[in-house]
Amino acid sequence: MITVDKISKKYGKKTVLSDVSFTIPKGKIIGLAGENGSGKSTLLKIIAGLLHPTGGRVQLDGRRANRGSAEHIAYLPDLDLFYPYFTGEELFRYYDTQFVDFHYDKACIVAQFLNIPLDVKLKNMSKGSRGRVKMAATLGRDASYYLMDEPFSGFDPLVRENLIKGLIQFTDSETQTIFLSTHEIREVEPLLDSIIVLQKGKIVGQEEIENIREIYNQDTITWLKNLLKEGDKVGQ
């Protein structure tokens, strides 16, 4: 379980996150939604141990999260070009030297499933191919937790569909947890167990997807829009 306890983050006088608390249990797929600038990427980096919070703490299975948490957390960044001069195959070889839970053969199987050309440098690939390579490298790890920052953003529907299918096929829903930020709510809604909503650095909503349908009698997008509208009214 990941426990986020009263996390805050400031850059100078600018507050990016304020008093954020929630838990991420194992074996769940949880979405993180919010407008641009709401603090989603910062929150993911703090949970992954890549950023230090200004206040509060993150615990991973009862221990404070830090850079050593990368041993248990597979983090997929939102950066488009990472390791641009590597081919896909070279990227997998590099990951194999960095993470004890990385399986080169599994990454290649995911790459084949996603139709990735592994002999082409990332900088020469299309954006869709780069996104698929990042996903294959991430899913090549046998991690307890997968943190993904906008893994489907900016891709055409067919690429998003392939990435989502890969996410389902190459993770274990019983023992592994996926926590992903996304604007593509409609596409990922069928995958999600629950959703957390950030607005201006604060949690304004957290709900089980099943409850949104049965209790609120809404689809997730309608519920999300109404929630953010209410948050705007409160902030005025």
Q: What mean pLDDT is predicted for residues 17-38? A: 93
Per-domain boundaries in the chain: 1-72+147-153+181-236
Give residue 235's pLDDT: 52
Homologous superfamily assigned to 1-72+147-153+181-236:
P-loop containing nucleotide triphosphate hydrolases (3.40.50.300)
Question: Which helix (H) or strand (E) is 6 found in, with range?
Answer: strand 2-11
Q: How far apart are CA 3 and CA 67, in angstroms?
A: 16
Spatial distance between the Cα atoms of 217 and 78, rounded to a whole number of angstroms: 33
Query: pLDDT of 43-100, one tens digit each?
Result: 999 999 889 999 999 998 888 877 777 788 999 988 776 788 999 999 999 999 999 9
Mean residue pLDDT across the chain: 90
- Position 236 pLDDT exceeds 60: no
Instruction: Give the phi and the psi of residue 117 in degrees, each rounded to 5.
Output: -80, 105
Q: Where are the beta strands (DSSP E) in 68-209?
A: 73-76, 145-149, 177-181, 194-199, 202-208
Flag whether pLDDT at 30 surpasses 50.
yes
Alpha-carbon span 13 to 193, nearest angstrom: 36
This prediction has a pTM of 0.91
pLDDT digits (tens, 9 = 90+) for 158-215: 888 888 888 889 999 889 999 999 888 888 888 899 999 999 999 999 999 999 989 9
pLDDT (tens digit, 9 = 90+) per residue, 133-159? 999 999 999 999 999 999 988 788 888
